[in-house]
Amino acid sequence: MTTLLELNHISTTVNAGTPNERTILKDLNLTVEQGEFITLLGTNGAGKSTLLNVINGSLRPSHGQVVVDQHPVTKLPEAKRAKYIAQVFQDPKLGTAPRMTVAENLLLAAKRGQRRSLIPRRLNAHLDEFKQLTSQLPNGLSDRLTTAAGELSGGQRQTLSFLMATMTKPQLLLLDEHTAALDPNTSHQLMTLTDQVVTQQELTCIMITHQIKDALKYGNRIIILNQGQIVLDVKGTDRSDLSEADLLQYFEA
């Protein structure tokens, strides 16, 4: 397999030099191969979101190196890493432009990583394509192409965010509890869609979840963080042999 992501001796310290100084990630090392679908578990404050922020570039590590597709990106800002990485956040309000229509948001996502120019956007030419693209999705999104994203329901907006993140097949997809703010039925629909897209497109994905059942059901590798360090990292038969009870022991006080 080909290595896509390397985190080498990553440490992150916040509020350095103050009484509130705290080290979140502690000399963490992680290698992710192409095509792996990782479910990431951990207690609150374990460092899950911090880990994704280090990968996506919104947080620079205090120490260590981030390498994506053999390219050192530790000093690259978040916008430059968009060439390699797409992310869906927990809050449905993030990831979409609220005053732009669904179709306009999709056109923006379709041009991810491309150079901006003064050439007309030709939105109408893409409407049939976007209609077909959304027709198989839940929440009736295909009937809302001319609706502003800010007027969508939470489930519709999160489905749009997921579609925007995956329509150009990113090298690395980060999902930060992307179903947590949704009702159970909508959450199930989006998780089903997530599994289908990640599997069919053979995407490399790291998904934070608090649901142990989802961690066991989806993906092919499980990682658990505790106090900024990896305490469990399993795949293959070791992963398939795990039970809920096996994972729960990592969350006991």
Question: Strands, DSSP E only, in the chain?
Answer: 3-14, 22-33, 37-42, 63-68, 71-72, 85-88, 172-176, 205-208, 221-226, 229-235
Which pTM does this prediction carry?
0.92
- Report phi then psi at 194, rounded to 5: -60, -50
Q: What is the CATH number of domain 3-113+122-251?
A: 3.40.50.300
**What is the reported pLDDT for 114?**
55
- What pLDDT, in 10s, does the model give residues 12-53? 998 888 888 899 999 999 999 999 999 999 998 899 999 999
pLDDT at 117 over 70: no
**Ranges 97-111, 112-126, 135-149, 169-183: which has the least confidence:** 112-126
Average pLDDT over all residues of the chain: 90
Q: How far is CA 107 from the centre of its chain?
A: 20
Spans of all domains in the chain = 3-113+122-251
**What is the reported pLDDT for 113?**
56
Distance CA 116, CA 173 (A): 23
pLDDT at 222 over 50: yes
Distance CA 130, CA 184 (A): 27
- The torsion region of residue 15 among left (phi > 0), alpha (psi -120 to 50) and beta comes to left
**What is the reported pLDDT for 120?**
43
pLDDT at 110 over 90: no
